[in-house]
Structure 1
Amino acid sequence: MEKYSAVGASVAVVKQGKIIYTHSFGLKDLENKEPLSDRDIFRIASISKSFSATSIMQLVEAGKIHLDDDFGDLVGFKIRNPKFPDQKITLKMALSHTSSLNDSQGYLNLDVINPDKNPDWAKCYNDYLPGSKFDYCNLNFNLIGTIIEKKSGERFDNYVKNHVIKPLGLYAGYCVDSLDSTRFVNLYEYHAGTKSYTPAPMAYAPRRTEIANYVMGYSTPIFSPTGGMKISATDLAKYMIMHMNYGTANGVKIISKKSAKQMQTALTDDEGYGFAIRTADNFIPGVKLKGHTGSAYGLYSTMFFNPKEKLGFVIITNGINATYTDGFPDFSRAAINSLYQSFFK
């Protein structure tokens, strides 16, 4: 933490499928010097995508949708790459970031890709055949959130709460006002020039006006299915155990073994990405890990596990001087290797 000027960090270690260590270091609030505790919750950024993917797999299992369904048919307006108008873009492609969509027009509302709303909608597509290449895209998952609403009849945040969070006994959620705001961890963006931090309160913007005017199946990006989950490191580890056990934790089945394995199976060689779970061979030397990272508003989150060895790690920091190696923050890499050496070596 000292080396990377970390504000605070919460960690959890799982061994033989059980949480054996949790701890919080440093500060939750830099201005008031308030210490970080294990019960505090962070907006975890892109690890949120796996909650959306898990929810979609439940609907697939229920027969309400299929992975090879036309993405546009599910969303409710045309989603086709204008350079390949005859090539269907499927739900499976969106889940694995092989849809050929991009975030160049933004992803905070669906208007950007809706041909009726944005004259530049065509810029949301890359120049290659859908299904042929990986390109990480937040818009994919905000669109997936709308499908969850359309097919379940529940507002996105409520669906995830009722079908993933509550059954696992977690304290978490996408809706800011459904959570205790005193437990939110302040997030801080680092400025290398001045070696200083500025808070990023927008991470927990309640967006009450937008929610008051909510349109089911279209306003979903308000809750950010792509990045808006708020949860503690300890509860994230409990959720991770469910994926580690291929869909079941504490006797509660969230998704089938088949669905869990599908989520963890890489569809692209270069990125090793399945459905919101990627494979990382170069994080801990000699250990194959499955999981996801997240970064936004100065936060960096890491959730990685090995389903065969039943080991896993959650590391969340609310602000660091971030440097990267092989696409991973050096802080997260150093922290996970430190925990691995301590608890497994």
Structure 2
Amino acid sequence: MKNIVALLSILFVFASAEAQDLNTQKLDSLFDLVEKYDKMMGSVAISKNGENLYTRSVGYADVENKKKANEKTKYRIGSITKTFTATIILQLIDEEKLTLNTTLDEFYPEVINSSKITIQQLLNHHSGLFNFTNSENYLSINSNKISKEELLALIKKNGKVFEPGEKGEYSNTNYLLLTFIAEDIENQTFDAIVEKRIIKPLKLKNTQVGKVINSKKNEAYSYSRKMGTWKKERETHMSVPLGAGNIISTPTDIAKFYTALLDGKLLSAGSLLNMKIFEDSYGLGLFQLPYNEHRGYGHTGGIDGFSSMAGYFPSEKMAFVLTSNGSSINLNDIALVVLATYFNHTYELPTYEKEIIVNNNTLNLYEGVYTSDSFPLDITIRNEEGALTAQATGQSSFPLTPTSQNVFIFKPGGITVTFKDYTLSLEQGEMVYEFTKQ
């Protein structure tokens, strides 16, 4: 659910050598390092021909009760759910209960442009509908149970951001509507549909539509790294994301799902082909993962403090899945090492330094709104429970990690922020912008 599509813009470019025997020792070295420096909590799985080659878990599923994560720990997988939802919709199309050209007004005529928006445009994010998770009050509603009627009212209120088919733009709203459409056609809840169409046929023992997190059932809580410790994140009520992000699972189960899907065991050949047609980088519930001459398909996910990444390379019959319930590093960096190991490519393990702790009084001094004559947007700095965030006007906030008492970085964006007196400098690439606190 979080905006992590930027991760998918990175092309995986390595030598094209086929994987021989997987070097599990190298992978263990990576995750030993991650665990030693407490950079991530989560699990990984790699499979080939549907058989597990490697699994590993680090950190805790429940920090407060010191419950370690294991191979069967279930994580909220966020937007990876969209591939499940897209698969269900395409199954309905295979059964001639729907078509890609069916328009939204056949189900929800009250939604703006419903007579122009097709099922295909909902699947590949070309509907033009406003992304409801970007609503100003989203964080005030996402922890509470919400009804279908309330969600439809929110969709109607938010309206459109462009005309259908004009361009592609990621919107969770599309997959709420697809959830409702599947439920209307099947006359069943989304839970029951996923169970019937995907979970039971594939015998996924640790996959289900999530409810309130229960650590006694080996379900992970999510966390963010603040002041040198893991702080539990607030919990989205699963009535909110629905088929846009409400499934919980394990890396092993997700790998089984993508293997079965992309090997043609869940859809007709025609629907699977349609799923892999990309327009403005969006397929039907899939993203591309290029890897030299090899082509992979998958999705990423993020909800609360959870983040996840899954991919499958049909020519190699290889799936890899990463799930995390807390991370202070870029999950994509871990994925790159995993793939490099599989393809026997030379790589260096990441280097981590001892975590810098900045006391709360110092962080409070940095809070405020900063303006610049050379930069068009203001930057708002907040201290959120012992961790700084930065937010440019009209943009999503991003975390700042300290490298010293007054220097902070946002590694995924290549941003360095330096505080001095009542000023900050923001460096990105070769550009440096100077800001003054209002």
Could you tell me the TM-score, scaled by structure 2's length? 0.63
Structure 1: gaps (5+ residues)? 208-220, 249-253, 323-329
- Of 255, 278, 287, the match for 1:237: 255
8 Å Cα contact 2:294/2:315 also seen in 1: no
Q: By how many angstroms is 1:66 displaced?
A: 1.0
Q: Distance in 2 between matches of 1:29 and 1:36?
A: 8
- Of 268, 273, 276, the match for 1:261: 273
Q: By how many angstroms is 1:52 displaced?
A: 0.7
Structure 2 equivalent of residue 311 of structure 1? 318
The residue type paired with residue 139 of structure 1 is T
List per-residue Cα deviations over 1:25-51 (Å, max 9, x = no partner): 222122222211101111110001111
Q: By how many angstroms is 1:143 displaced?
A: 1.0
Q: Distance in 1 between matches of 2:116 and 2:255?
A: 37
Q: Distance in 2 between matches of 1:10 and 1:299?
A: 12
Q: Distance in 2 between matches of 1:294 and 1:50?
A: 11
Q: By how many angstroms is 1:113 displaced?
A: 7.2
The residue type paired with residue 256 of structure 1 is S
Taking a change above 3 Å as real, the CA distance of residues 335 and 178 of structure 1, as seen in their structure-2 partners, is closer
8 Å Cα contact 2:301/2:308 also seen in 1: yes
List per-residue Cα deviations over 1:151-179 (Å, max 9, x = no partner): 01111110110111111000211142799
Structure 2 equivalent of residue 211 of structure 1? none
- For these two proteins, the number of residue pairs brought into alignment is 300
3-state secondary structure, aligned to 1:267? coil
Structure 2 equivalent of residue 78 of structure 1? 110
Structure 2 equivalent of residue 135 of structure 1? 169
Q: Distance in 2 between matches of 1:48 and 1:68?
A: 23
Q: Distance in 2 between matches of 1:44 and 1:15?
A: 21
Structure 1 equivalent of residue 221 of structure 2? 186
- Of 48, 60, 83, the match for 1:15: 48
The residue type paired with residue 309 of structure 2 is T
* 1:55-204 correspondence runs (5 A): 55-74=88-107, 76-81=108-113, 88-103=116-131, 104-105=134-135, 111=149, 114=152, 117=153, 121=156, 123-126=158-161, 128-171=162-205, 172-176=207-211, 181-191=216-226, 194-200=227-233, 202-203=235-236
8 Å Cα contact 2:62/2:215 also seen in 1: no
8 Å Cα contact 1:293/1:300 also seen in 2: yes
The residue type paired with residue 260 of structure 1 is L
Could you tell me the TM-score, scaled by structure 1's length? 0.78
3-state secondary structure, aligned to 1:319? strand
Q: Distance in 2 between matches of 1:177 and 1:197?
A: 20
Structure 2 equivalent of residue 210 of structure 1? none
Taking a change above 3 Å as real, the CA distance of residues 95 and 109 of structure 1, as seen in their structure-2 partners, is farther
Taking a change above 3 Å as real, the CA distance of residues 122 and 200 of structure 1, as seen in their structure-2 partners, is closer
Q: Distance in 1 between matches of 2:59 and 2:212?
A: 26
Structure 2: gaps (5+ residues)? 1-33, 345-438
List per-residue Cα deviations over 1:107-150 (Å, max 9, x = no partner): 96655675xx46x9353301x32112111111110111010110
Q: Distance in 2 between matches of 1:319 and 1:37?
A: 15
The residue type paired with residue 261 of structure 2 is H
Taking a change above 3 Å as real, the CA distance of residues 338 and 224 of structure 1, as seen in their structure-2 partners, is same
Structure 1 equivalent of residue 336 of structure 2? 337
List per-residue Cα deviations over 1:244-264 (Å, max 9, x = no partner): 313x1xxxxx22122122212
8 Å Cα contact 2:110/2:156 also seen in 1: no
8 Å Cα contact 2:309/2:322 also seen in 1: yes
Structure 2 equivalent of residue 226 of structure 1? 244
Structure 1 equivalent of residue 302 of structure 2? 295
Q: By how many angstroms is 1:186 displaced?
A: 1.5
The residue type paired with residue 189 of structure 1 is S
The residue type paired with residue 289 of structure 1 is G
Taking a change above 3 Å as real, the CA distance of residues 122 and 9 of structure 1, as seen in their structure-2 partners, is closer
Taking a change above 3 Å as real, the CA distance of residues 10 and 65 of structure 1, as seen in their structure-2 partners, is same
The residue type paired with residue 337 of structure 1 is L
Structure 1 equivalent of residue 289 of structure 2? 280
The residue type paired with residue 286 of structure 2 is I
Q: By how many angstroms is 1:7 displaced?
A: 4.1
Q: Distance in 2 between matches of 1:3 and 1:177?
A: 30
- The alignment status of 1:6 with 2:24, answered yes or no, reads no
8 Å Cα contact 2:43/2:57 also seen in 1: yes
Taking a change above 3 Å as real, the CA distance of residues 60 and 24 of structure 1, as seen in their structure-2 partners, is same
The residue type paired with residue 70 of structure 2 is S
Taking a change above 3 Å as real, the CA distance of residues 298 and 113 of structure 1, as seen in their structure-2 partners, is closer
The structure whose RCO (Cα within 8 Å, separation 6+) is larger is 1
Q: Distance in 2 between matches of 1:196 and 1:72?
A: 49
Taking a change above 3 Å as real, the CA distance of residues 337 and 7 of structure 1, as seen in their structure-2 partners, is closer
